[in-house]
Structure 1
Amino acid sequence: MTFNIVVTTPRLAAAGMDLLKSSDCNAIFTSTPDRDEELIGILNREPIDAIISRTMRLSGTAIRSCPTLKVISRHGIGVNHIDVATATQRGIPVLTTPGANSHAVAELTIGLLLAVARSIPCHDNAIRSGNWDRTLAGRQLSGRTLGIVGLGVIGRLVAKAAIGLGMRVVAYRGSPGTELEALSVTMLSSLDELLQQSDVLSPHCPLDDKTLGMIGRREIGLLPRGAIVINTSRGALVDESALIEALRDGRLFGAGLDTFITEPLPREHVLNTIPNVVMIPHMGASTDTALNLTAHSVVANALRYLRGEPIDPAICVNPSTLNVPT
């Protein structure tokens, strides 16, 4: 059977493209990754069976505009840009691809940490400007404490790498087990307790009503003076105004950011004027390996549901739509 699938981006990695072609799907790609008006137009005029969702907003209006829509398959795990409530009302499962890009995000987390701690971008820019300045000392990570909020797959990978650098790792809101014991991660009972011990803070948790702005002015004030904040999860987990204030007044040594409240980051944004911030344009999952794994998984998930094959409720954010025990 041929399925009509719309992909909310101009392209997918090769593994996803190959699976679409070999499965005889009619794939429709949007010309941009951010104009939802184009998507709504496609959904209005085409009998679409599935949406492969990347970063484009998927509103309730878009979901309701297509009576044939059966499944939404997310390229990644974050679903803040998808109106899950409307999808659930329509009985449409929203599937994710957990694990496919975990190593990529974890590696970038450590990369940002090293870049901030050793002021790598500043040194690079100085040399390119003809300034051979060796007076700016970096921050050694060995012997310092990394605090991880949310100890899922990515958090555990970051913990393992940090321990390899000689760091002590503490975590909050994880589930202790043999793997955690082997990693020597110290589980703490409160966020405040974690913050007070963290020379480096790295949140790895989903964005929801409970975590929105969870790292605000008070929380940043609990960090040891000279701490580093890394965010490769969701921009809105951290209060940007409080972060900027702490960076400017010297309370924080620096920050490494892959995600922001407003994306793309406006050219006039104050973060662009702060030298002790290293910024990446939401590229945590963008490696060749991760993009291929995720592209294959996102297509496979959609096809599996459309063909009536069993779906693991763990990859569905609204498992009640699967009509199976959760």
Structure 2
Amino acid sequence: MSLKVLMTAKTIAAPGLALLERGGCAVSFLKDGTDSELAQSLRSTPFDAVISRTLALSGNLIEAAPALRVISRHGVGYNNVDIDSATKHGIPVLIADGANGQSVAELAVGLALSVSRRITTQDASIRAQQWNRSAPGLQFAGKTAGIVAFGAIGRRVAEILQTIGMQIIAFDPHAGDRSTPGILWAETLDELLERSDLVSLHCPLTSETRNMIAAPQLARMKEGAILINTARGGLVDEGALAEAVRSGHLAGAGLDTFANEPLAADHPFMSVPQIVMTPHMGGSTDAALDGVAISAARNVLDVLIEGKVDRRLLVNPAVLKHRTVQTK
């Protein structure tokens, strides 16, 4: 009998699908990609695994899927999964191995350049038959970039910005290795904010990091600084950020993630042209989608066939107490 896998989206990149099918998995997809369709699918079919994209996997849904043996995230974030419920039921939750990191890093730098040189607003001006060459921009060379969370993506952003000529300062209380050449370290977030002309966020959304950038933190940033967030929308108090840019304290912001997606028509960002936005597509490149699909598929097969997990990618290590899986 085939192992049943549900992808909580309409498709998965071909290399990941091929890997699952070679492993004896029958893969199902959501036709409409809605919460109600996800709930109906989990309650009507005994899936062995779920590959999770953006839809929420609540405790109620996990409870309704007694055959579920693994939740594999199609990405590196996991705030859309009820981790406590998964752990309670002995279900390992695994993230992808950072295969989309390069693409996310490139978008972070692209957003920063777009804000600093006013690319989107200048493009709009030209299309409105206005030709204004006098609007000043910000040159990054010689300035300081603050990287909040110095994991794989943060490190890659730092490398790219160093080639531009920026000094890098990092803040990461969980970083065990501070030996990267040319990197200065801030002991507190406030220190990083006060010293940086550009701040780029790369941390997960947890109870500790939710709204970590709110009005007090924005006030500590340099006048004319830029904030970039390609990590998780809940890291930033969006109303406070809109006001900080609207007031002129910040030059602008570049955002790929938001607290609630998609944005409402009356969201405060909609009326602030200095905030450049993309629709949570940092990992949406051909290379990244292939890599993440392969990683997500491998996590599924490791659990369903080998009964093992990669400890580096395991979100809920407490699940190992259930002895349903072992570490590789």
Q: Deviations over 1:125-146 (max 9, x none)?
A: 1222222211211110101110
Aligned 1:49-64 pairs, distance under 5 A? 49-64=48-63
Q: Quick one: which amino acid aligns to residue 4 of structure 2?
A: N
1:193 aligned partner: 191
Q: Quick one: which amino acid aligns to residue 243 of structure 1?
A: L
- The total of aligned residue pairs comes to 322
Determine helix, strand or coil for the equivalent of 1:284: coil
Residues 93 and 316, structure 2, Cα contact 8 Å, conserved in 1: yes
What is the distance in 2 between the residues matched to 1:16 and 1:129? 44
1:175 aligned partner: 176
State the Cα RMSD in Å.
1.4
Alpha-carbon offset, residue 24 of structure 1: 3.3
Q: Quick one: which amino acid aligns to residue 24 of structure 2?
A: D
From 269, 275, 278, give the equivalent of 1:277. Answer: 275
Q: Quick one: which amino acid aligns to residue 177 of structure 2?
A: P
What is the distance in 1 between the residues matched to 2:137 and 2:102? 26
What is the distance in 2 between the residues matched to 1:201 and 1:168? 12
From 281, 286, 289, give the equivalent of 1:288. Answer: 286
What is the distance in 2 between the residues matched to 1:117 and 1:146? 13
After TM superposition, the structure 1 stretch with the greater mean CA deviation from structure 2, 55-64 or 11-20, is 11-20
Q: Deviations over 1:241-284 (max 9, x none)?
A: 11011111100001000011110011221211111110000011
1:255 aligned partner: 253
What is the distance in 2 between the residues matched to 1:278 and 1:5? 37
Alpha-carbon offset, residue 177 of structure 1: 3.9
Q: Quick one: which amino acid aligns to residue 266 of structure 1?
A: A
Q: Deviations over 1:15-58 (max 9, x none)?
A: 1122233333211101233x222122112221210001000111
What is the distance in 1 between the residues matched to 2:222 and 2:79? 31
Residues 302 and 309, structure 2, Cα contact 8 Å, conserved in 1: yes
What's the % identity of the aligned pairs? Answer: 44
What is the distance in 1 between the residues matched to 2:44 and 2:253? 46
Aligned 1:1-326 pairs, distance under 5 A? 2-33=2-33, 35-173=34-172, 174-178=175-179, 180-181=180-181, 184-322=182-320, 323=323, 324=326
Residues 20 and 301, structure 2, Cα contact 8 Å, conserved in 1: no
Residues 310 and 327, structure 2, Cα contact 8 Å, conserved in 1: no
Residues 118 and 139, structure 1, Cα contact 8 Å, conserved in 2: yes
Q: Quick one: which amino acid aligns to residue 27 of structure 2?
A: A
What is the distance in 2 between the residues matched to 1:98 and 1:214? 25
Alpha-carbon offset, residue 325 of structure 1: 7.2
What is the distance in 2 between the residues matched to 1:240 and 1:43? 34
What is the distance in 1 between the residues matched to 2:105 and 2:19? 27
What is the distance in 1 between the residues matched to 2:123 and 2:151? 34
What is the distance in 1 between the residues matched to 2:164 and 2:186? 21
Alpha-carbon offset, residue 231 of structure 1: 0.5
After TM superposition, the structure 1 stretch with the greater mean CA deviation from structure 2, 17-26 or 81-90, is 17-26
Residues 97 and 295, structure 2, Cα contact 8 Å, conserved in 1: no
Task: Structure 2: give runs of 5+ residues left out of the alignment.
Answer: none
What is the distance in 2 between the residues matched to 1:247 and 1:195? 15
Output the TM-score relative to the length of structure 1.
Answer: 0.95
Q: Quick one: which amino acid aligns to residue 46 of structure 1?
A: T
Q: Deviations over 1:63-95 (max 9, x none)?
A: 111111111010011111111110000000001
Alpha-carbon offset, residue 176 of structure 1: 3.4
Output the TM-score relative to the length of structure 2.
Answer: 0.95
Residues 151 and 175, structure 1, Cα contact 8 Å, conserved in 2: no
Alpha-carbon offset, residue 105 of structure 1: 0.6
Residues 50 and 69, structure 1, Cα contact 8 Å, conserved in 2: yes
Residues 36 and 58, structure 1, Cα contact 8 Å, conserved in 2: no
Task: Structure 1: give runs of 5+ residues left out of the alignment.
Answer: none
Q: Quick one: which amino acid aligns to residue 209 of structure 2?
A: T
Alpha-carbon offset, residue 309 of structure 1: 4.5
